[in-house]
Chains A and B, each alone.
Chain A
Amino acid sequence: MDIIVCVKHVPETAEAELKIDATGKGIEKAGLVFDINEWDDYALEEAVRMKEKFGGTVTAITVGPEDSESTLRKCLARGADKAIRLTDPKFASSDAYATAKILHSVIKNLHFDLILTGAQAGDDGSAVVGPVLAELLGIPHATMVKKIEFTNGKAIVNRELEGGLEERLEVKLPALFTVQTGINEPRYVSIMGIRKAMQKEVKVMGLADIGLSENDVGEAGSWLRIEKLYVPPVEKQTEFLKGSPDEIATKIVEILKSRGLI
């Protein structure tokens, strides 16, 4: 089974302080740690497990600048066989739609039985690239997938709905699935894996190599044009409890007492 996994190199922002940059349309990237998008980590693991079970190849593909190479290296170390990086100054400001078109221009020429993407990218949270890519390729898709099985050339997948409910679908192959977290337990990278990955090649392609025009990519090829970024207004004014841990604990106890909670 030949599987393509789309991966995005994203900043880890849960604990980082974010600053809006001088243009007002992006964040300052300096000082942020980048890694594989959380959802893509599960997608890659799922692909590698399928390869281990059924044979075939796993190709990791990203649209991103030079530093996203580290995410591809990670994929190679974890069991991907090939890696492709699509990069061009003209790709800057591409939204999820333009990104899907860029991925499509290359993937349409590759052999695959299955394409996996993350359910969403942790930075933009669009949840758009996967289904648009499936539409451009003319193959069926399912999003937020939590389980994938195969029977007679078809896939049976569990999709996550709200509130703990799931639905089971039968999907014809080749297909594209967007993977939800928790589908598996991603493995750690082994030293062996890292060594092997060093020998594998990352293929780099630009706009001239993929047969798209300038108008298909970047802001011109996007649905969305960012006007400005700003800090979200607070919904509820929190009262910050300050002091040493001991003082804070005392304050919490007082609050709980006054509310009759202890």
Chain B
Amino acid sequence: MAEIFVLAEHRQGQLRDITFEMLTKARELAEKANAEPAAVILGKNVKDYAKNLADYAKKVLLVEDEKLENFNSEAYQKVLSHLIKDYKPLLTIIGHTSYGVELAPRLAAALNIPLATDCIDLAFEGEAFTITRQMYSGKVNVKAALRKSESYMVTVRQAAFQAQKPPTPLNGQIVEVPSPLTEEIVTKRFLEYVLPPPGGVDITAAEVLVGIGRGIKDQSNIPMVEELAKTLGGVLACSRPIVDKGWLPSDRQVGTSGKTVKPKLYIALGISGAFQHVLGMKNSDLIIAVNKDPKAPIFSFSDYGVVEDLFKVVPVLKNKISDLKAQKGIA
């Protein structure tokens, strides 16, 4: 039976969540496509992971090698090329993560397998394999068909699929495949991890976050929103462009390349709602978004939406809250 490969992603001793999201989707697809889900795990000393993955897949292909200790797309490409040529999976699913983005396009081109990236849905429909992805930072969804092929490849967005354990563990067979890596990879070498600078503000601990985005327009407008945050007893957070411009330090950034936050209140001011931002804040208890564009994707993740110029709303809101606090103080 043909396999649907899922490349298990792990880093610094941990299998990453996306692995289980992908395995869940693979299981669902496999049923329809008369195939079986197979996890592929590459690394050094990763047998324990393989056992864990066996609950979720009918087969686990395990390749262990010193040279696979840290992720290196060149090494991964060599090993996966070998496995894909050998097993001819119907589909290979890889995370649209830093690792997946480094690996998948080049692997697909080398094997001449059609690839779609950053998919949020996948389907076998008759003869066709179709995918859904987004364009224009989430303002439009696209359904597309991949060029007809024996084998397909996709990268999938984080949190696009919900990880679910199979009702009963699948008890997948663990197949130890000898590493096809014969020589050292010298063109590209992993040196070390670089941790974010220590110290700073811990936005993940705040109960109230006021998040600002590019709609803030200028650094000189930041004190105004800082006031609002303070009045609410909260902390200022932001989208990536604010950090890129150097207006706030990187410890304030919410999103996939920043922090994941879950405050009691998240107020998004002038943030469009690109998924990389949304993934970092969508589980907040209460989300209020202010954006002058009624079609901004942030509104599909908010409890309350305000279609208005933030500069008109923020000062009034701040004053009302301070007034209320003053009243309470008197009473």
Contacts and interface: CB of A to CB of B under 8 A. Distances in A.
Interface stretch (B27-35, B45-53, B166-174, B318-326): B318-326
Interface string B106-129: 101110001111100000000000
A1 interface: no
B216 interface: no
Nearest to A161: B98
Contact of A132 (B106, B313, B321): B106
Given A182-B244, A235-B301, A248-B313, A168 B191 contact: yes
A132 B77 CA distance: 13
Interface in B221-247: 232, 240-241, 243-246
Given A169-B188, A229-B140, A231-B140, A245 B316 contact: yes
A171 B190 CA distance: 9
Interface string A94-138: 001100100000000000000000010011111110111011100
A17 B136 CA distance: 11
A225 B331 CA distance: 66
Interface residues of B, number: 96
B288 A165 contact: no
B11 interface: yes
Contact of B320 (A136, A240, A253): A253
Contact of B118 (A127, A256, A261): A127
B179 interface: no
A162 B289 contact: no
B242 to A, nearest CB: 10
B162 interface: no
B144 A225 contact: yes
Contact of B195 (A20, A132, A165): A165
Contacts, number: 257
A236 B303 contact: yes
A245 B307 CA distance: 10
Interface residues of A, number: 81
Interface string A193-214: 0000000000000000000000
B98 A160 contact: yes
A249 B313 contact: yes
B85 interface: no
A165 B96 CA distance: 16
A141 B106 contact: yes
B298 to A, nearest CB: 9
Contacts of B144: 224-227
A67 interface: no
B258 interface: yes
Given A15-B292, A238-B305, A245-B316, A135 B139 contact: no
Contacts of B307: 240
B56 interface: no
A163 B259 contact: yes
B76 interface: no
A27 B136 contact: yes
Nearest to A158: B194
B324 A253 contact: yes
- Pick from A18, A230, A238 the residue with the most CB of B within 10 Å: A238
**What are the 9 tightest A-B residue pairs by CB atom distance, in nearest-first order?**
A182-B244, A164-B196, A234-B300, A223-B114, A238-B305, A131-B105, A166-B194, A249-B317, A249-B316
Interface of B: 11, 70-71, 73-74, 96-99, 101-102, 105-106, 108-110, 114-118, 130-131, 133-147, 186-196, 208, 214, 232, 240-241, 243-246, 250-251, 253, 256-260, 264-265, 272, 282, 286, 288-289, 292-293, 295, 297, 299-308, 312-313, 316-317, 319-321, 324-325
Interface of A: 11, 13-15, 17-18, 20, 27, 96-97, 100, 119, 122-128, 130-132, 134-136, 140-144, 156, 158-172, 181-182, 185, 222-236, 238-241, 245-246, 248-250, 252-253, 255-257, 259, 261-262
10 contacts: A18-B139, A126-B117, A127-B96, A127-B105, A143-B102, A164-B196, A166-B193, A170-B188, A231-B141, A252-B304
